Amino acid sequence: MLRWTCCLCTVGQVVHTLNEGKDVCGVTSLAGEIYVLRDKERDQVEVYDITYRLQRCLTVLNACSFADMTSCEHYCYIYISDGNVECIHRLDAQGAATQWPVNDRPCGLSVNAEHNLLVTCGVARKIKEFTTDGHIVRIVCLPADVVHPCHTVLTRSGQFIVCHGWPGDAVHRVCMISADGRHIVHSHGGQPGSHTGQYDGPAHLAVDNDEFVLVVDATNRRVTLLSPTLNYVRQVVSRDQLKWSPEHVYIDTHKRYMYVTDNEWNDEDEMYIAGRVVVFSV
């Protein structure tokens, strides 16, 4: 079990950087291999072994606009959200794929303790829970002041941790929300900014075995660690450790590694043009 309380005095240390290429839309692991999702027409999913050697590439057919990727060790599947097509792509380790509709624009993905897929729908302000076969389990509507949620994870107590706030929104923060989706229990953040208690584009989350929360703060180019009640603990990754901007984070609790995507933004074209994955020991 990974114990963040044993390593609070240090920040994450870079141990490896995967090769630069097309921008990275997600990173996860499955059955001891590392999966990297890139924004391109073919061979979008790169699969690496534990020494970071490329083993194979998987192609996601009929894909349009990737938003996130996660994995389920129980069913041995990779899940990918596709914003423009409004669907989920499900792949096995050999690349055999199926897909199902979300009927809203999906963004962040996570898998809960029941091995179901949680899909955050930013524009609709909803969390949709699906079985691994794409059957809808429930739809949770978020409070009115949770605008443009990006990613959701579920705690052991059944509460949701949600990060929200797009460019131009008045509030950028991380919230703990009751199991019925109606009430904010705890929160961290508020008006966008760069101070310790602020965010500017909280884009992605990861929660460890002790329910400490990692928050990717994209525009501020950092990763922040919060307590289980969303109190500030420390900065885990600083802008000095990144070349561009972070977008996604994944924790491998067994190896004590943290994977952070690092993408280059082009202001003229208003799009990401390159990316890589930075591996940190924690």
Q: Quick one: pLDDT at residue 248?
A: 98
Give this prediction's pTM.
Answer: 0.94
What is the residue range of 13's domain? 4-281
Please answer whether residues 153 and 205 qualify as being in contact, where contact means their C-beta atoms are separated by less than 8 angstroms: yes
Q: Quick one: pLDDT at residue 253?
A: 84
What CATH number does residue 260 fall under? 2.120.10.30
Closest CA to 111 of 139, 152, 82: 152
Chunk the chain into consecutive blocks of 10 residues (it has 282) and report each block's average pLDDT, rounded to whole numbers.
42 90 96 96 95 96 92 97 95 93 97 97 97 97 96 96 96 97 96 96 95 97 97 95 96 92 88 94 88
Number of domains in the chain: 1
Q: Quick one: pLDDT at residue 270?
A: 77
